Chains A and B, each alone.
Chain A
């Protein structure tokens, strides 16, 4: 087995109401220092984590959604969002915040980190991983 493993962080829960989403993001941030091949998956209510215009003033909880936009600087550039999960919740890709990274292999061109994929493709992505952490 090579030194670099494929890590997938699976996010299935809404951003607020429970702590899973926030503590998942904390693992991603720490894990970024380990130079592994990192992907994030968003499905079920987890797709709400990436919606734009989040405002948590009314619930007294920190809005951590801007942190997702910083992950590109840590070479976390693969955000797989499940198409069916979006559709089941009346969401489209236009409801998600814009998250980009600079591609060092392509003259630092700015590219989107979010890739909307179907359920079948999501299953294939999961099957391809070495380590899957589910939150």
Chain B
């Protein structure tokens, strides 16, 4: 089965990004396809590479980046939600005249159309949030 995933709450504050991670890993292990994970609302904060959790805690961003590298999951961060919250890739930082960017490897910034497209192209859309 093709499964699309949406994460709509921020990391560490809320369990959504962790639960979604375990869900996607399990779904892939069972032979399902997870072509894309879409990060919306505060969920976009998962994508910052500047997060430094204590060493004995899980690293949510690195977990997702590793999953993307291993399984080719497309991690899409909503551009409108990201810009409100100060998350920029190199292109956007240049375009907006900002002095830094912070998007981690494996994530890409794109539009809400990617969320709708995922809903159309997958068999199930599963949302993790509050």
Contacts and interface: CB of A to CB of B under 8 A. Distances in A.
Interface of A: 3, 5, 7, 19-20, 23, 26-27, 30-31, 33-34, 36, 130-135
Interface in B81-130: 81, 84, 111-113, 115-117, 119-120, 125, 127, 129
A133 B125 contact: yes
Nearest to A12: B130
B81 A134 contact: no
A132 B119 CA distance: 9
State the main secondary structure of chain B at its contact with A: helix
Contacts of B125: 131-133
Nearest to B121: A5
19 contacts: A7-B116, A20-B41, A23-B41, A23-B80, A23-B81, A27-B112, A30-B111, A30-B112, A31-B112, A31-B116, A34-B113, A34-B116, A34-B120, A130-B119, A131-B120, A132-B125, A132-B127, A133-B127, A135-B8
Interface residues of B, number: 18
A15 B81 CA distance: 17
B46 interface: no
Given A26-B80, A133-B127, A5 B120 contact: yes
Interface of B: 6, 8, 40-41, 80-81, 84, 111-113, 115-117, 119-120, 125, 127, 129
Contacts of B127: 132-134
Contacts of B117: 34
Contacts of A30: 111-113, 115-116
A3 B40 CA distance: 25
A34 B129 CA distance: 24
A36 B116 CA distance: 9
A133 B113 contact: no
A131 B117 CA distance: 11
Contacts of A31: 112, 115-116
